[in-house]
Structure 1
Amino acid sequence: MANSKRNMLPGNQKRIPGHSVWEGEMNRNVLQPSYAPDVPENSPSVGKWFADLVDVALSGNQDAIRHIGSLFAREYRGPDRREVQGRISSAIQRRLVSLNDVRSVSQLPVDEKSRVPLIEEQPWPTMPLLLDEQAGAALSRFVAEAANSKQLSEAGLGSRLNLLLSGPPGTGKTFIAGHIAARLGLPFYTVRLDTVVSSLLGDTAKNIRALFEFASNGPGFLFLDEVDAIAKRRDDQRELGEIKRVVNTLIQGLDLINDKTVIVAATNHAHLLDPAIFRRFPYQIEVSLPELDLREALWRLYLDRAEDCTEAAILSVISKGLSCSDIRELAIAARRTAVLTGSGIDFAGLAWAVIGSREGKLHMPPISNLELETKTLLQKRLRDDYELTFEKIGRLTGVSKQAVIATLRRRRNVDSE
Structure 2
Amino acid sequence: MFRNIAISSLLLATSGSYALAQDAAPNQVQGIFTNAFAKGFVTEIEDLSQKRIQTNPQAGTIKAIYGNEEDTRFADVQLAPMPPSGFEPRFAGLRNAYEDISEMPVEEYDLTSPDGLPLACFNHRRADQGYVNCFAEMRGRLFRVQIGAVVDADAEALPDDIQERDGNLAGLFADSVNAAPDTEGSANDPLPALNEPAAEETAPAEGSDGANAADMSDIAPQDTPFAKALPENIDDRTIKEISVRGPKTTYVATYNDDNGDTTQVTLFAEHGDDPSGLRSFEKNLLGEVKGDLRDVEAESPDGVPMQCFHAVKDAGAAHNMCTAVVSAGIVEIQAMARVEDNVADAPDDVIEWAQDHAGKLTDALAELP
TM-score range relative to shorter protein: under 0.3
Greater helix content: 1
TM-score by length of 2: 0.27
TM-score by length of 1: 0.24
- Whose radius of gyration is greater, 1 or 2? 1
Greater strand content: 2
